[in-house]
Amino acid sequence: MNTSALRFAAGNGLLDRRSFLKSGYGLSIATAIGLSPAGRLLADSEPPMPTWMTSLGAADSAYGSPSPHESQVLRQLQPNTPQTAGFSIWHSPLQHQRGIITPSGLHFAVHHNGVPAIEPERHRLLIHGLVERPLQFDLQRLMRYPMVSRIQFLECAGNTAANALSPSALDGDCQALFGQISCSEWTGVPLSHLLREAGVKASARWVICEGADGGSHSRSLPLAKLMDDAIVAFYQNGERLRPSQGYPVRLFVPGWEGNVSIKWLHRLEVSDQPAFSKDESGLYTRILSNDDILAFGFAMDVKSVITHPSGRQRLPELKGFYEISGLAWSGTGRIAKVEVSADNGRSWTQAQLHGPVLDKALTRFSIPWQWTGAATTLLSRASDEQGHVQPTRSEWRSRYAAHSFNHYNAIQAWRVGRDGTVENSYA
């Protein structure tokens, strides 16, 4: 393989995919990924047959479970901080996942008031306020309406808050720093069907959405958004919602901060003004650097993260070919491109986007990388179809007050040491 030609084609060790394939990658993949001859040649004598090939296997179970050899792939409970006191926050293990779909059992979760044990046959959804016909639905009636299915992400407004607040880069893996983002197939009834049936009055502009949890968590949302693409969701990844995701029914608002996708949805009050509930007036209001208040800033900004190699991982060989891969997303549309830098931002190379590239969904990207063994810093920078581009950390910090952390979407840097260790860094 002519590696010097590859470096010339892409620069700084990042390899243009077309150049990589033309270089003979398909004929020399073992060399490309650094396998030794012993790893790719048959031995003179075959090893003994493993025990699992000499007897019948165990019986299966009624509900499938992961292999016990993957028992380390779990959600991670975030320790409480002054900002999260009273919450329970579970992070998704992004560094262990591939593709774009998050398994339901690994989906991140934030609970303000715990997880209620709702009896589905007793649950009701009420629509009232500025409507011609106040309506109340039980689940059986609700599930008779036509449903839609969409693959879309859900991200907590406080995802990556540690990088926004900490003056120095904290030692953490991808799960700890970025784990409040997940992507699923959500299935449910378009909320517009129900609102039209109730007959929304001309003066209506907002809908106050409330959950059936112990604290009656509520958010005020613009009517126009709910009539556009919000759904009343019953299913996640083909099965009924799990309790931690809002069973038996939740609101799902594509592309907007996760807190507005009210779990355990039981009441929708149509109004001409927002309610200014405790959460939307406090926790989810952003303060700008000039002390102006950015209230009701809902859409999640364009963002990306390299998931491998990433924090607390270690490259097994001290030089050679690796795949850099990660995830990108935007609350305002599809991802248009992701650029990767292997020299701390001095140069950038466009990565491959793996299909499908969907609206308001996670998009997987990757690029081949020839690491020389020198210490370096890896970055990814996403752009969406609306022209939004990820900012640097200093650009983001200059816009917001020092104590702000919601909607942090700055470029993430991973420092790769000469010994192959990877750690969080501020580029």
Supply the DSSP symbol for 296: S
Element (H, E) at 222: strand 218-222
Work out the number of other CB atoms within 10 angstroms of the CB of residue 397: 16
Look at residue 22 in the predicted model and tell me its pLDDT.
60
**340 vs 97: CA distance, rounded Å:** 20
CATH topology of domain 303-425: Immunoglobulin-like (2.60.40)
Q: Is 220 exposed, middle or buried (0-12, 13-18, 19+ CB in 10 A)?
A: buried
Among candidate residues 191, 182, 183, the one with its CA nearest the CA of residue 225: 191
C-alpha 204, offset from chain centre: 33
**93 vs 66: CA distance, rounded Å:** 14
DSSP secondary structure of 71-140: TT---EEPPP-TTTTT-EEEE--GGG--SSPPPGGG--EEESS------GGG-EEEEEESBSS-EEEEHH
* Tally: H helices and E strands in the chain: 11, 24
Q: Identify the bridge partners of residue 210 per DSSP, sorted by sequence position.
A: 218, 267
Q: Rounded to the nearest 5 degrees, what angle is found at the Cα of 113, between the Cα atoms of 263 and 266?
A: 35
SS3 at position 380: strand
Specify the CATH class of 76-294 in words: alpha beta
Q: Identify the bridge partners of residue 320 per DSSP, sorted by sequence position.
A: 371
Among candidate residues 365, 398, 370, the one with its CA nearest the CA of residue 381: 365
**379 vs 362: CA distance, rounded Å:** 18
**73 vs 65: CA distance, rounded Å:** 12
CA torsion through residues 264, 271, 152, 351, sign? negative
All CATH 2.60.40.650 domain ranges in the chain, comma separated: 303-425
pTM of the model: 0.92
Cβ atoms of 300 and 17 closer than 8 Å: no
Would you call the peptide bond into 167 cis, given omega within 30 degrees of 0 as the criterion?
A: no
Angstrom distances, CA of residue 27 to CA of 3, 17, 23, 93, 229: 14, 15, 9, 34, 47
**67 vs 360: CA distance, rounded Å:** 31
**28 vs 20: CA distance, rounded Å:** 11
Query: What end-to-end distance do the CA atoms of the chain give, in Å?
Result: 33
Among candidate residues 421, 406, 425, the one with its CA nearest the CA of residue 169: 425
Residue type, 296: F
Q: Rounded to the nearest 5 degrees, what angle is found at the Cα of 313, between the Cα atoms of 404 and 165?
A: 10
Q: What is the mean pLDDT of each run of 10 residues along the chain (427 residues)?
A: 48 72 51 47 73 92 94 91 73 97 97 94 98 98 97 97 96 98 98 98 98 95 98 98 98 97 98 92 88 91 98 96 98 98 98 98 98 97 98 97 96 98 95
- Assigned token pair, 31: 């060399």
Look at residue 148 in the predicted model and tell me its pLDDT.
98
Among candidate residues 94, 101, 103, the one with its CA nearest the CA of residue 173: 94
All CATH 3.90.420.10 domain ranges in the chain, comma separated: 76-294
**97 vs 108: CA distance, rounded Å:** 13
